[in-house]
């Protein structure tokens, strides 16, 4: 890949993927605190955003203007996509990412997300509408194609670059694969060879070793990590340190880990309110306990508890006591 004079720098080139229901502001803030080149918001549906459906506008407002943060939008019509982009830019977004990679049926059924890879002419109309509507950099996240017979990510990338897209993230699977099998990092190389803008490799990157392999296979300019960071918000910083020599994160253990998890849980309670925050927090608490090896009975008790005060009391038992036994 030849360096472009208009390259959008990602430093360090390790980014947090947008994950619906997971990469909310509390989690993105935690990952950023450890160290990441970029964190991306949950996907915002442009149509719902413009009609102010409860929950969507708030997602856009979450960290839109925070440094090293991007807001991701999705949709199926140029007009709403352009208007949503303008509104997000006005809220302070410094980078706007277009989602053409989400495989969820409720998204593709509305001709959004990865469904757009079935009609590149229409996909390009959306990209052009967004790029022409805003002054901030526009990026694109996509997959290899709709299925194994339409691996058209290189063509989409070329056309997106010509329309003004400044960076492209490619998940190494087709839409029809969803998350089955293994991400094909080698297949991403066709995209890096097709464009001059930076290409970021995504999919099944859960360690520095896998990140190194993904870079070698794809010739990408960086990596994007999603599910690998669940229960390990320090992973991006750890990968950046091992691959690029950035400061090593202080990975919390013992009481420090309990304090971090408690702070994360309390941030979710504050952000969502007690009832919803407790429900949303369960998935993160579950991942933390998976990493700690919490006994099934205690894990079940914590994840079914409806009283935040009781959850807070159980966290040290689920994490600290488990670590002490393991030691």
> Comparing C-alpha atoms, which of 153, 34, 31, 49 is closest to residue 93?
49
174 and 299 in one domain?
A: no
H or E stretch at 16: strand 14-16
Rounded to 5 degrees, what are φ and ψ at 198?
-60, 140
> Comparing C-alpha atoms, which of 285, 277, 284 is closest to residue 308?
277
Burial classification of residue 275, based on how many CB atoms lie within 10 Å of its CB (0-12 exposed, 13-18 middle, 19 or more buried): exposed
167 and 44 in one domain?
A: yes
154 and 84 in one domain?
A: yes
Rounded to 5 degrees, what are φ and ψ at 318?
-70, -30
Measured between alpha carbons, how far is 215 from 1 in angstroms, rounded to an integer? 12
Q: What is the CATH number of the domain that holds 195?
A: 3.20.20.70
CA quadruple 95, 96, 101, 103: dihedral sign: positive
270 and 239 in one domain?
A: no
Within a domain: residue 7? no
The three-class DSSP label of residue 298 is helix
274 and 226 in one domain?
A: no
Within a domain: residue 58? yes
Within a domain: residue 64? yes
264 and 177 in one domain?
A: no
Please indicate if the annotation marks 59 as binding a ligand: no
171 and 35 in one domain?
A: yes
> Comparing C-alpha atoms, which of 130, 213, 209 is closest to residue 172?
213
pLDDT score recorded for residue 327? 46
> Comparing C-alpha atoms, which of 211, 283, 199 is closest to residue 244?
211
Within a domain: residue 1? no
Q: Are 168 and 199 in contact (CB under 8 A)?
A: yes
pLDDT score recorded for residue 61? 55
97 and 221 in one domain?
A: yes
Long-range CB pairs of 75-78 (<8 Å, 24+ gap) are: 75/45, 75/46, 75/47, 75/112, 75/126, 76/47, 76/110, 76/111, 76/112, 76/116, 76/126, 77/46, 77/47, 77/126, 78/125, 78/126, 78/128, 78/129
Please indicate if the annotation marks 141 as binding a ligand: yes
The structural domain count of the chain equals: 2
Give this prediction's pTM: 0.91
Output the furthest CA–CA distance in the chain (Å, rounded): 59
Rounded to 5 degrees, what are φ and ψ at 137?
-60, 140
Q: Are 252 and 320 in contact (CB under 8 A)?
A: no
Q: Cα-Cα-Cα-Cα dihedral of 37, 42, 47, 53, to 10°? A: -130
200 and 275 in one domain?
A: no
Q: Which of 244, 269, 289 is a domain's end point?
A: 244
Within a domain: residue 220? yes
Within a domain: residue 283? yes
pLDDT score recorded for residue 58? 57
Please indicate if the annotation marks 196 as binding a ligand: no
Catalytic residue list contains 102: yes
266 and 194 in one domain?
A: no
Give me the domain span that covers residue 77.
14-244
Q: Residues of 152-188 as b/e, b for ≥16 C-beta within 10 angstroms?
A: bbbbbbbbbbebbbbbbbbbbbbbebeeeeebbbebb
Q: Are 169 and 202 in contact (CB under 8 A)?
A: yes
pLDDT score recorded for residue 261? 98
Within a domain: residue 2? no
Please indicate if the annotation marks 171 as binding a ligand: yes
Within a domain: residue 318? yes
32 and 155 in one domain?
A: yes
Please indicate if the annotation marks 33 as binding a ligand: no
Q: Which of 198, 219, 244 is a domain's end point?
A: 244
Q: Which of 189, 215, 244 is a domain's end point?
A: 244
177 and 85 in one domain?
A: yes
For residue 12, count other CB atoms closer than 10 A to its CB: 20
Q: What is the mean pLDDT of each run of 10 residues along the chain (327 residues)?
A: 59 94 92 94 83 59 71 93 92 92 85 90 97 97 94 97 98 91 96 98 97 98 97 98 96 96 96 93 97 95 96 94 53
Of the residues 76, 102, 176, 305, only one is catalytic, namely: 102
């Amino acid at each position: 890949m030849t360096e472009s004079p208009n390259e959008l720098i990602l430093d360090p080139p390790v980014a947090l993927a947008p994950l619906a229901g997971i990469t909310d502001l509390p989690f993105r803030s935690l990952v950023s605190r450890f160290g990441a080149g970029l964190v991306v918001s949950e996907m915002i549906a442009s149509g719902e955003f413009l009609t102010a459906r409860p929950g969507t506008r708030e997602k856009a407002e979450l960290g839109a203007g925070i440094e090293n943060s991007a807001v991701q939008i999705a949709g199926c019509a140029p007009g709403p996509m352009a208007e949503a982009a303008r509104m997000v830019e006005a809220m302070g977004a410094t980078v706007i990412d277009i989602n053409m990679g989400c495989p969820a049926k409720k998204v593709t059924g509305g001709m959004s997300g990865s469904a757009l890879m079935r009609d590149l002419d229409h996909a390009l109309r959306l990209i052009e509408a967004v790029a022409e509507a805003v002054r901030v950099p526009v990026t694109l996240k996509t997959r290899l194609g709709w299925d194994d017979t339409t691996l058209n990510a290189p063509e989409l990338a070329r056309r997106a670059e010509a329309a003004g897209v400044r960076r492209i993230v490619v998940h190494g699977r087709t839409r029809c694969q969803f998350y089955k099998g293994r991400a094909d990092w080698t297949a991403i190389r066709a995209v890096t060879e097709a464009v001059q803008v930076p290409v970021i490799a995504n999919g099944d990157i859960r360690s520095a070793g896998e990140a190194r392999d993904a870079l070698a296979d794809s010739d990408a300019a960086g990596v994007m990590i999603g599910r690998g960071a669940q229960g390990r918000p320090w992973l991006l910083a750890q990968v950046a340190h091992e691959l690029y020599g950035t400061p090593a994160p202080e990975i919390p253990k013992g009481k420090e880990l309990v304090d971090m998890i408690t702070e994360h849980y309390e941030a979710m309670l504050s952000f969502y309110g007690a009832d919803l925050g407790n429900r949303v927090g369960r998935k993160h608490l579950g991942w933390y306990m998976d990493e700690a090896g919490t006994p099934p009975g205690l894990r079940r008790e914590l994840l079914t508890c409806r009283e935040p005060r009781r959850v807070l009391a159980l966290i040290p038992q689920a994490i600290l006591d488990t670590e002490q036994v393991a030691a």
